[in-house]
């Protein structure tokens, strides 16, 4: 097989891998015990979130906005993914004890590798709170990120 034929096969394999990776979050199946109401973010991609976009989710009177997580490399060979999460109370009364969890999930076996958790003791009516979530993993492993909101 010539050089052009080999290059064509490599390009097709890379293209198919990208398509399958992007479509991994397009199915009704949510791995790892998560539900369709959880927000799934693919590291290294951008999910613009015009309401009700893929990076935004509504939990009763709470609106959780997760536009994207961005991968960062550290000198020790590890990586972390960082995302800005916005929590807004659209209701008339405060909501108490809101917990937001960001899970770094390994694509090969859908196992949780790292979890970041933030508790907001009180989200007042009409208020928006922000925080930066970071989850840690290795740079050469495929991951996706799931964000869940709960009240306690």
For the cut 80, the answer to whether the pLDDT of residue 57 exceeds it is no
Is the pLDDT confidence value at 18 over 70? Answer: no
Percent of the chain with pLDDT over 70: 64
Q: What is the mean pLDDT of the chain?
A: 74
Average pLDDT (74-96) is 89
Burial of 131-143, coded b for 16+ CB within 10 Å and e otherwise, reads eebebebeeeeeb
Question: Has residue 137 got a pLDDT over 60?
Answer: yes
Quick check: pTM over 0.75? no
Beta strand residue intervals within 5-111, DSSP E: 39-41, 56-59, 62-65, 69-73, 78-89, 95-106
If you average pLDDT over residues 19-42, what whole number do you get? Answer: 46
How many of the other CB atoms lie within 10 Å of CB of 146? 24
The two tokens of residue 2 are 């010539």
Q: Which fold has domain 31-151?
A: Immunoglobulin-like (2.60.40)
Alpha-carbon distance of 6 to 64, in angstroms, equals 46
Q: What is the predicted pLDDT for the residue at 130?
A: 92
In this predicted structure, the answer to whether residue 89 has a pLDDT above a threshold of 50 is yes
């Amino acid at each position: 097989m010539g050089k052009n034929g080999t290059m064509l096969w490599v390009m097709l394999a890379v293209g198919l891998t990208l398509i399958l990776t992007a479509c991994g979050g397009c199915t009704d199946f949510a791995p790892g015990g998560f539900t369709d109401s959880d927000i799934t973010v693919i590291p290294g991609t951008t999910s613009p979130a015009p309401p009700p976009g893929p990076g935004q989710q509504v939990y009763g009177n709470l609106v959780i906005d997760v536009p994207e997580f961005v991968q960062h490399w550290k000198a020790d060979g590890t990586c972390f993914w960082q995302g800005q999460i916005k929590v807004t109370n659209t209701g008339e009364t405060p909501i108490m004890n809101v917990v937001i969890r960001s899970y770094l999930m390994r694509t090969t076996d859908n196992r949780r590798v790292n979890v970041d958790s933030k508790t907001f003791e009180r989200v007042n009516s009409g208020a928006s709170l922000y925080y930066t979530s970071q989850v840690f993993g290795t740079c050469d492993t495929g991951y996706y990120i799931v964000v869940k909101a709960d009240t306690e």
